[in-house]
Chains A and B, each alone.
Chain A
Amino acid sequence: MITRRAAARLFAGSALAGAIGANGGAAFAADKVVKVGINLSFTGADAEDADRMKDGAVMAFEAANQANAVPGYKFDLVSFDDGTATAGQYDPAQAATNARKMVSDRGFVAAIGPQMSGAGKAMAPILSQGDLAIITPSSTNPDITNPKFAEQYDPSGKPIYFRTVTTDAYQGPNMANFMAEKLDVKTIYILDDSGAYGVGLADAFEAQAKKKGMQVAGRDRLDPKAADYTAVLTKIKSLNLQAIYYGGVAQAGVKLAKQAYDIVPKMIKAGGDGVYGASFLSGGGFPAVEGWYATVASPHLTGGDQRAEQFVEAFRGRFGMAPVDYSITSYDAALVIIDAVKRVAASGKPMNRDNVRNAIQTAKVPTIQGTVSFDKYGDLADRTVSVFQIKKDPKAPLDDATKQYAYVGVAPQS
């Protein structure tokens, strides 16, 4: 019930907001603000890619606000950082805290993120109970959207964890297919970085590698905070294998790349999307990272594609640096949210979390990577995994992922 005094205050408040808006020049006095949270790992080993991913979303929302894409509504993107100094990378406890903050503020109708699956596992149950839909541009661990674990990650029963990338249930196995079929790898050693993403990816890879008849000579776990991996690499060297597959993110990845370059320079080295990006390039450095294979859990748009080209140019112009592929999935996630808010507004239903979530579930949004739609669990309908190999382009900045990762092709689906 709204008392008269409260109503008066409300009115005065919106008049004030209107006045400020008028001074700003763009907003209508009656524009309602739709808050969208964005939770990435801005502190720690993956920070460089986090910035580039956020910038992708910023571009989409800025354009929407400028073009008045949803009449009567303005988007307000609010950042949350789940990285902590003590963890040196994402910290699940911080991610949970951020999820609680978003859930407790009814102004948030949707969110983007997280960057990391370990953070996603901590956030999903909280968001599920708060009925707040989140679209991740890069977290690929399949458990979060797997109906088998719904009790754990989706206790409310309605999917809230959507993705504009596919999962490691495809990323790992498809890369195993690629290595077996295209690179003719028969013997391999598998490493992970002890994180939720890394272990899951390495497990999925290992299962398919064995199915493909590869001999998995060993599996070991790296401590991402330790500095020395020479001992395990010496062991791998003594086994005379063709390849190493690494499931994990940049923190352990850059050290692994450097030491592997010294100890086993000739082996084929491959990883998932954890070794794709500016953080891996700048931390690992050339020549150590040269020749590494990486995958990205979304289709890659090759040179001919107009929209992708335009996006890369606009991104460079706006932020003065090159985007990564997950800047695009992040931009796409923002487009999905903008589209959902637009449809809720057009339908005349109240602008709340539940309606926005339902709109996201039924989305069919043309984005840079193609039309985005989700299956009933929230996973991306398109299951393309793209393979890249690092090939030094001395003319481009050495941490420019769009130039230093050469696109190899699509990893075969099994």
Chain B
Amino acid sequence: MTFTDLLLQQTINGLSLGAMYALLALGFTLVYGILELINFAHFNVFMVGSFIAMAVLQGFGLSGQDMILTGLPLVGVLAVAFVVTMFGCGVLGVVIERLSLRPLRNVKGPAAMITTIGVSYILFNIILLGYGADAKNYPNPMPTVRWHIGGAVLDMRVVLIWGVSLVLMLGLYYFVQRSRVGKAMRATAQDPEAARMMGVEVDRIIVMAFFLGSALAGAAGLIFGLYYNFTSFLIGFTAGLRAFTAAVLGGIGNVPGAMLGGIIIGLVEAMASQFIATAWADVIIFSILVLVLVFRPAGLLGRVAPSKS
């Protein structure tokens, strides 16, 4: 491998990580943009997503990486897995909002945020009790298809991650910018009171934000499983924390910012492992976060939060 190949390979690695972080970061950003609430339950909605998807894939009779599908069956199985997982996680997000956060809507202070931490641990423990603590060998029907670009290798799974993430992120961006509900979301984000007076049903918009954010976390959970061939009840915290960092780095509440932040964190992680040491990756990621926040407190692309009236 030449140095250029190596750089290219680490960029591929970093972009795959980054795409996953970005999908996850969008969930933080959507909810924060509207409620000014950091939703820590999001960490483990992602983790639950990877388990829902595992159950779906197992439902098709898949186990481990022994059964390979191609062509239409592969597309069909993955499409069903994505739809079921995203819908399941979306509903989970809505239930969390309805049961644990709406009753606290008008409570001042950190009560709602602490509640999300509690919900996060509840999800974590439900999966721990239901599935046990050992690492799960993920059912994966994708054939190993690889393209060589010089000395670097591009795996079909990586292309899938990029493709799905790009479609979902662009879809979300288009939805928020163009659709009626999206406009209502932005209006609520700017000023909930004024939006309400203009006839926006704020509660419905909040439910929508939770549904969309959690659905994206579900997609990220499935992608995680397919990429690493592995899941466990523990995956939420590390990935969630990095994704949250990505959201803050890009400017929390800002949709393109979350995507940019995710990609940057992914690339930094890969390059840090290459040129410094894996052991230092976290130190470098968080140092960059601190530096960015010192010079641009609102994040790279600026923060979007409801104006307090």
Contacts and interface: CB of A to CB of B under 8 A. Distances in A.
Asked if A and B bind, the verdict is yes
Interface in B77-131: 124-125, 128
Contacts of A226: 238, 281
A228 B269 contact: yes
Contacts of B132: 47
B135 A235 contact: no
A227 B65 CA distance: 18
A288 B229 contact: yes
Contacts of A221: 277-279
Interface stretch (A105-113, A247-255, A295-303, A335-343): A247-255
Contact of A223 (B133, B144, B229, B279): B279
Contacts of A282: 134-135, 137
Give chain B's interface secondary structure class. Answer: helix
Contact of B278 (A48, A222, A240): A222
Given A227-B235, A258-B229, A287-B65, A232 B278 contact: yes
Contacts of B229: 258, 285, 288
Interface in B259-309: 269-274, 277-279, 281-282
Tell which of A47, A234, A279, A286 has the most Cβ of chain B within 10 Å.
A234
Interface in A234-265: 234-235, 237-238, 240, 250-251, 254-255, 258-259, 262-263
B10 to A, nearest CB: 6
B133 A47 contact: yes
B66 to A, nearest CB: 8
A135 to B, nearest CB: 25
B234 interface: yes
Interface string B232-276: 111101110000000000000000000000000000011111100
Nearest to A49: B134
Contacts of B17: 228
B132 to A, nearest CB: 7
B13 to A, nearest CB: 5
Nearest to A229: B278
A116 to B, nearest CB: 14
A227 to B, nearest CB: 6
Interface string A81-102: 0010100100000000000000
B239 A220 contact: no
Interface string A166-204: 000000000000000000000000000010000000000
A194 B134 contact: no
A220 B278 contact: yes
A225 interface: yes
A240 B5 CA distance: 14
Nearest to B5: A238
Nearest to A88: B234
B6 interface: yes
Contact of A45 (B134, B239, B278): B134
B234 A225 contact: yes
Interface of A: 43-45, 47-48, 83, 85, 88, 194, 220-223, 225-232, 234-235, 237-238, 240, 250-251, 254-255, 258-259, 262-263, 279, 282-288
A-B residue pairs, 5 tightest by C-beta: A283-B135, A231-B273, A285-B137, A221-B279, A231-B270
17 contacts: A47-B133, A85-B124, A85-B233, A194-B279, A220-B279, A221-B278, A228-B17, A230-B13, A231-B10, A231-B278, A231-B281, A234-B6, A250-B134, A254-B230, A255-B230, A282-B134, A288-B229
